[in-house]
């Protein structure tokens, strides 16, 4: 069965106080979930240790970005090996903000993915189209290309360490959300592309991200190809975040 995952991306937000209070609450509530959801928190790297102290095994921890090298004279960068050594399980790769603000390409994403899986971590590979691309009818082709290029270096034994997060750029932090039907259609398309690539498509978790909140999570997570969410702003509110985690039916 595919993993059900709800991951909170704090982006450039956080503090030691938030790490203690929010993660402590989420950790306590996560232990009572009966729906098999894996709860993941992805803070700024400087707070990973603080988050890990509160997570206590009930919550997995990830890092928002790694460099395309494992060591060297790259001031300001951290490597996937460092992320693993720090206690992380997940790495975000290719988030739209990394692509748009920092100019990351699909080719760079592929390099990073290869290093992440080689380190034994799980890469959450982000894909998604802009509003202009969607309105031009290019959404599916853009996302398909991002999937094919970004995952081009994944070998047959490494697919177990791949999660794909579909985040339409126009829905990130805007309050706009793709309809559940539109999100499902894109997730089904992504799964089809993965199958064409020779990946075990039915075993790979696909997450939706883009203004997910407690009031729309149930509709999104009820779709057959949506296996969870990559949550932005709502992950900074402990009660809202854990409410989103509860919107899967109980495990049978």
Burial of 1 by CB count in 10 Å (0-12 exposed, 13-18 middle, 19+ buried)? exposed
Angle at 47 between CA 41 and CA 50, to 5 degrees: 85
Indicate the DSSP class of residue 22.
Answer: H
- Give the catalytic positions in this structure: 95, 167
pLDDT for 189: 98
Q: Is 194 in contact with 155 (CB distance < 8 Å)?
A: no
Count CA atoms closer than 13 A to 35's CA, side-chain side: 20
pLDDT for 63: 98
pLDDT exceeds 70 at position 84: yes
Distance CA 230, CA 232 (A): 7
Q: Is 122 in contact with 90 (CB distance < 8 Å)?
A: yes
pLDDT for 250: 66
pLDDT for 19: 94
Cβ neighbours of residue 196 closer than 8 Å, sequence gap 6 or more: none
Residue-wise pLDDT for 145-186, tens only, equals: 999 999 999 999 999 999 999 999 988 777 777 899 999 999
Mean pLDDT over 67-89 rounds to 98
Indicate the DSSP class of residue 233.
Answer: G
pLDDT for 252: 47
The share of the chain scoring above pLDDT 90, in percent, equals 88
User: CB atoms < 10 A from the CB of 175, how many?
Assistant: 9
Q: Is 143 in contact with 166 (CB distance < 8 Å)?
A: yes
Distance CA 160, CA 70 (A): 21
Indicate the DSSP class of residue 14.
Answer: -
The share of the chain scoring above pLDDT 70, in percent, equals 98
Q: Is 70 in contact with 80 (CB distance < 8 Å)?
A: yes
Residue-wise pLDDT for 216-237, tens only, equals: 999 999 999 999 999 999 999 9
pLDDT exceeds 90 at position 239: yes
Q: Is 184 in contact with 225 (CB distance < 8 Å)?
A: yes
pLDDT for 173: 75
């Amino acid at each position: 069965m595919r993993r059900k995952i709800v991951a909170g991306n704090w982006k450039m937000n956080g503090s030691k106080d938030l790490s203690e209070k929010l993660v402590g609450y989420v950790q306590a509530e996560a232990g009572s979930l009966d729906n098999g959801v894996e709860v993941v928190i992805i803070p700024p790297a400087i707070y990973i240790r603080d988050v890990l102290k509160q997570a206590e095994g009930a919550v997995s921890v990830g890092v928002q970005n790694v460099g395309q090298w494992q060591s060297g004279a790259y001031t300001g960068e951290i490597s996937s090996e460092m992320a693993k050594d720090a206690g992380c399980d997940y790495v975000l790769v290719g988030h739209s903000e990394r692509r748009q603000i920092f100019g990351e390409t699909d080719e760079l994403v592929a390099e990073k993915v290869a290093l992440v899986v080689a380190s034994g971590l799980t890469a959450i590979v982000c894909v998604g189209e802009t509003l202009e691309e969607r309105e031009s009818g290019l959404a599916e082709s853009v996302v398909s290309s991002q999937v094919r290029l970004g995952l081009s270096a994944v070998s047959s034994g490494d697919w177990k360490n791949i999660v794909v997060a579909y985040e339409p750029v126009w829905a990130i932090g805007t309050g706009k959300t793709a309809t559940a039907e539109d999100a499902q259609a894109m997730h089904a398309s992504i799964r089809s592309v993965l199958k064409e690539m020779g990946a075990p498509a039915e075993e790979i978790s696909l997450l939706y991200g883009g203004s997910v909140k407690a009031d729309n999570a149930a509709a999104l997570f009820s779709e057959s190809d949506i296996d969870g969410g990559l949550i932005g702003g709502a992950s900074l509110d402990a009660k809202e975040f854990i409410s989103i985690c509860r919107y899967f039916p109980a495990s049978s």
